[in-house]
Amino acid sequence: MTQAYVDHPVRGDAGEYINYAWNIAEHGVFSKQARDTTQPVVPDSFRDPGYPLILAMQIKATPEFGPWYQAVMLTQCILGALTVMCYLLAARRWLPLHWLVAAGMLMAVWPHSVTLPIYIVSESLFAFLLAAAFACIAEATARRSKGWAVGGAAFFTCAALTNAVVLPVAPLLAIAGFIWLRSWRPVWITLLVASLAFSAPWLLRNAALASQDSAGGRAAMNFVQGSWPDYHSAYRTHYLNPGHDDGTLERIDAEVNLIGTDRKAGYDAVLHRLADNPVRYAGWYASKPALLWGWDIQMGDGDIYVYPTVNSPFRTMAPLRALAALIYVLNPLLACLALLGCVASLCRPKEPVAFGIASVLIFVTAVYTILQAEPRYAIAFRGAEMIMATYGMALAAQWVRRRKQRGLTEAPAH
């Protein structure tokens, strides 16, 4: 934050978030309408309200862009540190101390998470809210506390109002916990009822809107974009050399617009395209989880950068370049270890928080595989991934120790 700076930080998603924040601060309306429009401000539900609301509060406190942007970055840096602390609190009762320390170190130095706070995007806030929800659930299950369960529901709801992908998570987790983790049934019932009650007002508000800029329309857009294997390359070509793409983006937009005007015809067109080349698209969808948890941000400046970033320490300082290179090499291994931790947590559900974290990671991977697998979206879940990865390491180390002990006991005496 003190060395790197973003070239034109207001672009892409950041521009829309600022429009929403401005309209909340100035008009009390949640709308992505441009600030300089002369038209009446019309509410919509295209984006989720959590992050723009935080930006709007900071606009009210600091109207000038320079100080406001500094306040946003500082807030997001603090949220990043709190995210690490919340995950450590969530896992402290079931992850051995040395593995807990390893998880904390990985979260603290992960390059994507380090660079994220300087961008005006929602992932920093979302990551914190999700981690805080797990920390509350850890306390709720350890203390058999309905109050902590209500706190977990509140944080899950705030996370869902920042990224609607996790909207079903709290109810589904509560139902799954009620079935498979019966010792904590009062906690799961409280989580279910509270999460539904907290999210209902915003869902009812969105259902009453007639705007075409809806959350459903955005999901349909992401589904269409994510169904095209060439989308990311076409976007990068357009991003780097506007006007030199091969028409892929126009064809994608045509399908999105068709769904907007005739939902059945639009989805039929997408399914017909998939059916024309089933082998290619089956391979594409099979590769999307690896893309999601990959390294190189596709919808942005690439590598670990959402937008063009000048004077990044990960470029100018040799130790940090080496650190990023090391983590880049370890990234696939850590993903595999996280998968091991998830499978173990789900197949043998003993620890409710481990079960919850594993469930969320599997759920969001499935959702983004269906929609759009963009590595930037995974940044908010990297803390959860590191908890599961170190849990996978602990399980692997335990298996190795048992194998050695078995070999010693079975060795013939001389």
Domain assignment of residue 11, yes or no: yes
- Rounded CA gap, 299 and 379, in Å? 13
- Rounded CA gap, 119 and 127, in Å? 14
Q: Note the pLDDT of residue 411.
A: 63
> Is 304:324 a contact under the CB 8 Å cutoff?
yes
Q: Note the pLDDT of residue 412.
A: 63
Helix or strand holding residue 179 (H, E): helix 169-180
- Range(s) of the domain holding residue 223: 5-403
Q: Distance between the two ends of the chain, CA-based, in angstroms? A: 64
Domain assignment of residue 226, yes or no: yes
3-state helix, strand, coil in the chain (%, to 5): 75, 0, 25
Domain assignment of residue 198, yes or no: yes
- Rounded CA gap, 297 and 378, in Å? 10
- Rounded CA gap, 197 and 207, in Å? 16
> Is 89:135 a contact under the CB 8 Å cutoff?
yes
Domain assignment of residue 20, yes or no: yes
- Rounded CA gap, 161 and 139, in Å? 23
Residue whose token pair is 């173990």: 344
Domain assignment of residue 332, yes or no: yes
Question: pTM of the predicted model, to two decimals?
Answer: 0.94
Domain assignment of residue 409, yes or no: no
Domain assignment of residue 48, yes or no: yes
Q: Note the pLDDT of residue 414.
A: 52
Q: Note the pLDDT of residue 1.
A: 59
> Is 43:31 a contact under the CB 8 Å cutoff?
yes
- What's the structural domain count of the chain? 1
- With b for 16 or more beta-carbon neighbours within 10 A and e for fewer, the 213-244 pattern comes to bbbebbbbbbbbbbbbbebbebbbbeeeeeee
Domain assignment of residue 408, yes or no: no
Q: Whose CA is closest to 90, among 133, 129, 138?
A: 138
Q: Note the pLDDT of residue 104.
A: 98
Hey, what are 84's tokens? 């690490």
Mean pLDDT by 10 residues, the chain (414 residues): 84 94 95 85 94 97 93 97 98 96 98 97 98 98 97 98 97 96 94 98 90 83 95 86 80 94 94 96 97 95 94 95 98 98 93 96 98 96 98 94 80 58
Q: State the virtual CA torsion across 375, 380, 383, 385 in degrees, nearest 10.
A: -40
